[in-house]
A and B are shown apart, each in its own frame.
Chain A
Amino acid sequence: MAHVLLRHRDIPDIHKLEIYKKNGGFEAFKNAVTKMKPNEVTDVVKNSGLRGRGGAGFPTGMKWSFIDNKNWPHYVVANADESEPGTFKDREIMEGNPFQFLEGVAIASYAVGANAAYVYLRGEFWQIAAFLDEKIAEMEEAGYLGKNLFGTDYSLKIYTHLGAGAYICGEETALLESLEGKRGQPRVRPPFPPSYGLYGKPTIVNNVETLTNVPMILANGAEWYKSMGTADSPGVKIFSLSGRVRKPGNYELPFGTTFRELIYTHGGGVQDSRKVKAIMPAGASSSLILVNDDKILDTPMDYASVRTIGSDLGSASVIVVDDTVSMDWLINKTVHFFRHESCGKCTTCREGTYWMSHLTERIHEGRATRADVDLLLNVAKQMQGKCLCALGEFSTMAVVTGIERFRSDFEKVVKA
């Protein structure tokens, strides 16, 4: 099947404007601006069932319809802060198929009445930012960005902006703070960005992958999009596969594809032909899926199904953990990541990740007792539901599920 998002894998040089145009590029945007009303664009996206690809899976069209039309100007922000360990899909899109992404930004901007859109990239993506700047310039030159597009009174500018290397800036309100030039720390929500976003103005923040879907949905229609994937999760998804697999990488597959197909058919199976012990379907923020029964691998990868096995699909960064890995090592890794990335704004995450890191370190180094494992579990649960933003919660996921689902791994490393 031809790719919907990773089209550069099918069409060489699609990052060149002429090639992109030759393959139907910008037609959807032109059609939207010249023939559709903004809310009609939103309706198509709504009907397609497209859900946000950043992790939360919120219906995209619905988010667009929340934009506060009593307060102007509006902004669109593309979240290209891709920082979740194990996630590397947005990078490939922007590097390989940049125009489709930028066209998505443009269509979203038209749909919500924004005349300025920002692409917020993590600091390490400075080369991609420079590349996108070139592409934006080419679009301006070709009349796809700028004033009075396609002879209408609609104008749009797209800007790139680099972060300074903080995981937290992937959280949309922290991203907005950072974009405003402030410290990247999350805001209290509500209010949500569609009513109070960039500079306090209504703003739509969408993930890169989400936006890259949009031109194809407009070009081919909502029904076409819904023909792929599942009823709950229509369309295609890029699964970033990593961990102990033979062929890690991005795989664009319809929602509902099973873990087994991803790991064995596409990923070439587990290294050294070992057994899958656990799966982290959403990077470091995952609740660990316990693969104690082979049938678990037959679970379809869509938002609802993954929930039935005690986890969340999130950004679909599937990390495969085999039976050589002990969970005390794994959670020590994730907790240290979150401790390092905690922004420090709220007590719970700042102090909780610090405390947990001491405990996981002691446990992993064999200096802990069984009581310490219980304490760790208790501290993680004490954090849950009390953090200012979702990222604080994320730090507890692997810890809680790791201890609860893989208790024997911990029994082996604690002192008697």
Chain B
Amino acid sequence: MAKQITLTIDGKQVTVPEGTVVADAAKMAGIDIPVFCHHPKLEPVGMCRMCLVEIGRPVRDRVTGQFVMENGAPKIQFMPKLETACTNKVEEGMVVLTRSQKAIEGQRGTIEFLLTSHPLDCPICDKGGECPLQNLTMAYGPGKSRFLYDEKIHLDKMVPLGELIWLDRERCIQCARCIRFQNEIAGDAVLGFDERGRSTQIVTFSDPPFDSVFSGNTTDICPVGALTTEDFRFGARPWELQAQASICTQCPVGCNTTLNTRREAKAGGRIVVKRVMPRQNEEVNEIWLCDKGRFAYHYTEGKNRLSRPMIRKDGKLTRASWEAATKLAAENFQKAKKNFVILASGRLANEDLFNLKSLAEHADGKAYLYTHMGGGELTSLVGVGQGTDFGKMGAGTTIVVVASDLYQEAPVWYLRVKQAAARGANLIVMNARETKLDRFASFVVRYAYGDEVKAVNDLGKKNKIGESFLKSENAVILYGSDGLGIAGSTALASACAKLLHENGFSGKPNNGLIGVWSRANDQGAWEMGFQVEEDLAKALKGKTVYIAGADPVGDDPKLAKALEGAEFVAVQDVMATATTEIADVLLPAQAFTEREGTLTSGVRRVQRFYAAVPVSGDAKADFAITSQIARHMGIILEGTSVSAVFDILAASVKSFEGLTYARLAEVRPQWPLVGREDLYYGGTTYENKQGMGAQLSAAAGRGETVSIPRVEKEALPRPKEKELLAVPVTRLYDRGTTILPSELLHQRIGEPNLVLHPSVAENLGVVEGQKVSVSFDGVSGEAVVKLSDAISVGVALIPRSMGLAIREPVAVKVK
């Protein structure tokens, strides 16, 4: 623990860790020192001059170094000038006056100076109502301006800093929080100041502009209304919004969010989600959110939302009652016996997956997880263990990232891993191509696609990198599916798990294996015992299939064909997809915004989300639909209360043992303080009042015997002449069903594409931006050529969910 320093602030004795700045020390003691440029997550700069206070330091005897005493107390010498509380670190015996006449005058002066250039457009400003400048002006300002209104500077009010963020130049107070966030936290240094003096303005110098997946966070920490999002701009006044805790469903990180809702005239008087805000969880997302999480929620309210159960009659889907629809499904499931197959995705909650798995077990069917990535059962064996937190990783911990581009696949993990590396963690990034994380790595290992397992095995050997791994106190491996299908990722997981377990890096806090899944609750599905099937088409053909939260028909022509030949197809989903079109029975499910439940993140943290908006039509929660079907089959599954399902789940799934639904809602004190009354300090991030979740135990941590199967990986396909080896990669913004309805992201999603090395493109005679036709393994389609010299010459990258159904490495023909 850091050395503790005791000082006095406004007569109150405060003890804080050494190195704390005065502004933070005051905050810890419940004393507000107004700030604009200071942010507890950023390096101090002392620019805005808002936190001016009087600072006195005890006089020390030059010879003895002891405090000089005066009237029985150390003699305090105050500096002649006010000092900034954000740049001065605490010192033993320091005396700080934040409300002296001198300090008050200094603070009032700064507010007056700031307001000379700030427009008086609070009534039409999005920030009005949650604006630090507005609030601090009320609390610390002079009340009346001496600056002539006619002499106010006028600047552009609608400057796009990219298609997601707008800049109002008049409102900007040049605090540089946005620039510093991008430089220090995001690691995407794409913003800067241009010009100087009163002409200083924020600019973006990237192409495309504001090229960062963390851009939305700048609007949270902007202390004025200078930065607003395209999504929320002019959308609502903050005081009209209701707030409900939720969990982001876009990736396995499990960022804590708050859904802001309002009754909306434009939506026919319905209550709708107006924006997604980060909710503080220092163990998960701190106070940040990626742009996908912030902006891709629109699918829950899309035009193609399902709200009525349907049954196919005479080849057409027609309205039916829940009773009739579930009964029809139940009859067919029962009839199918061993040919009953459940195909569910990690878009569903733990409770949904638990009921589905239970149904499959009772009905003697199979339960498959709809994913492109395997090996998840191993994460439940070796961990990560309870207590794992990227925020606590630093010197002594090795973090290996293999076959994953975290920036694209799990952006907030990227932030957290980057920070851990900055704290001294040994970061080893292993990938077949360059990724953004490479810059922060102690070691970068570049292998050829197909050599993933070998690269991981080499970590166990006595070489420089291997030794750095083996001698660490703790180690985690994040493995992904960059260039890998189910077989490849399963083999990789096995190699990783073996390496970790054999070297004692399993079951404990900050040790174990983390899957970089594509969906929010894939981890939950693995914990429930779902399996993957490599040849899914074969497994579905001729079967009675119950599909929940997945669109195999839309994703993959092969699966579409297989389902054409299925005996019976029941589809349960939030929205209409290509798969719902072929359904024999259609079961409309509630969106995560309309119900409650729990999700298990990739670091095995179970977290609760809550209902924020009313249910769309007759839609039901997935677990309830499954329960109703099961009842018709004579199987009793809890279907009324999520909390009851969770308790049953916790009693039957070992890793959940000891957890209760209520415990997941517990919160612990967090630093920095954020939330309504502290928004000038931490930004508009929401305080966590509805739960920080709890982590699952791992078999290795429970002392169980863990045996890891050795998985041989199949060899890569060999491209023939005029063919290329194509591998699947994951992009943050793709054409997936939960992203595409958010139109504001379309520019970032782009068209279906194929990434080639420039030299390969030259050989093929194609140029960047050209449309080519791509065909492989029964799939063909068009794609736009993109060039990158960060990949090896021999391969082409095909992003998943972008129109070309690539499951694993394949030989492709490009024309």
Contact = CB atoms under 8 A, between A and B. Distances in A.
Binding partners A and B: yes
Interface of A: 166, 168, 183, 188, 339-348, 350-355, 358, 375, 379, 382-383, 385-388
A386 B114 CA distance: 13
A22 B82 CA distance: 54
A-B CB proximity, top 4 nearest: A344-B200, A342-B197, A351-B113, A385-B81
Given A347-B47, A347-B173, A385-B82, A352 B200 contact: no
Nearest to B112: A382
B113 A348 contact: yes
Nearest to A378: B146
B313 interface: no
A168 B197 CA distance: 11
B109 A382 contact: yes
A342 B198 contact: yes
B109 A350 contact: no
Contacts of B200: 344, 350
A343 B153 contact: no
Interface in B148-203: 148, 151, 153, 173-174, 192-193, 195-200
B197 A352 contact: no
B44 to A, nearest CB: 7
Nearest to A372: B148
Nearest to B110: A347
Given A339-B198, A354-B116, A386-B109, A347 B192 contact: no
B47 A354 contact: no
A181 B348 CA distance: 51
A171 to B, nearest CB: 13
Contacts of B151: 358
Nearest to A339: B197
Contact of A346 (B47, B80, B146): B47
Contact of A386 (B44, B110, B148): B110
A383 B199 CA distance: 19
Nearest to B102: A385
Contacts of A354: 116-117, 153, 197-198
B46 interface: yes
B408 interface: no
A346 B198 contact: no
B45 interface: yes
Contacts of A341: 196-197
- Chain A CB count within 10 A is highest, among B87, B112, B117, B198, for B198
A351 B117 contact: yes
- Chain B CB count within 10 A is highest, among A347, A375, A386, for A347
A375 to B, nearest CB: 6
A348 B116 CA distance: 11
Given A341-B197, A352-B113, 12 more contacts: A342-B196, A344-B195, A345-B174, A350-B198, A351-B113, A351-B198, A353-B198, A354-B198, A382-B113, A386-B49, A387-B49, A388-B47
B132 interface: no
A346 B87 CA distance: 13
Nearest to A343: B196
Contact of B49 (A340, A348, A355): A348
B49 A344 contact: no
Given A188-B44, A188-B84, A344 B109 contact: no
B147 interface: yes
B142 to A, nearest CB: 10
Contact of A343 (B116, B148, B197): B197
Given A342-B197, A347-B173, A375-B146, A188 B113 contact: no
B87 A355 contact: no
A258 B152 CA distance: 46
9 contacts: A188-B44, A340-B197, A344-B193, A344-B198, A347-B49, A348-B113, A354-B117, A386-B52, A386-B109
Contact of A353 (B48, B81, B197): B197
B45 A188 contact: yes
B394 interface: no
A356 B174 CA distance: 19
B225 interface: no
A353 B196 CA distance: 12
A326 B198 CA distance: 27
Given A347-B47, A350-B200, A386-B106, A355 B113 contact: yes
A223 to B, nearest CB: 29
B738 to A, nearest CB: 41
Interface in B81-105: 81-82, 84, 87
Contacts of A183: 192-193
A74 B213 CA distance: 39
B46 A388 contact: yes
Contacts of A346: 46-49
B82 A350 contact: no
- Chain B CB count within 10 A is highest, among A352, A355, A383, for A355
B116 A166 contact: no
A232 B193 CA distance: 43
Contacts of B114: 347, 351
A168 B200 CA distance: 14
Nearest to B115: A351
Contacts of A345: 45, 47, 174
A339 B117 CA distance: 14
Contacts of A382: 109, 112-113
- Chain A CB count within 10 A is highest, among B80, B109, B110, B200, for B109
A388 B174 CA distance: 14
A352 B49 CA distance: 12
- Chain B CB count within 10 A is highest, among A168, A339, A382, for A382
Contacts of B112: 382
A310 B109 CA distance: 26
Nearest to A361: B151
Contact of B48 (A342, A343, A347, A358): A347
Given A344-B197, A350-B174, A351-B198, A188 B46 contact: yes
A355 B151 CA distance: 9
Contacts of B109: 348, 382-383, 386
A341 B197 CA distance: 7
Given A344-B174, A375-B146, A386-B106, A350 B197 contact: yes
Contacts of A352: 113
Contacts of A188: 44-46, 84, 87
A193 B783 CA distance: 55
Nearest to A358: B151
Contacts of B44: 188
Contact of B196 (A344, A348, A355, A358): A344
A261 B195 CA distance: 43
Contacts of B47: 345-347, 388
A352 B114 CA distance: 9
Contacts of A343: 196-197
Contact of B80 (A348, A375, A385): A385
Contact of B113 (A344, A347, A375): A347
Nearest to A342: B197
B371 to A, nearest CB: 46
A14 to B, nearest CB: 39
Nearest to A379: B146
B339 to A, nearest CB: 68
A374 to B, nearest CB: 10
Interface in B109-145: 109-110, 112-114, 116-117
A387 B81 CA distance: 10
A166 B197 CA distance: 11
Given A342-B196, A354-B198, A386 B82 contact: yes
Nearest to A382: B109
Contacts of B49: 346-348, 386-388
Contacts of A358: 148, 151
A344 B148 contact: no
Contacts of A344: 174, 193, 195-200
Interface string B9-47: 000000000000000000000000000000000001111
Nearest to A371: B146
A390 to B, nearest CB: 11
Nearest to A393: B81
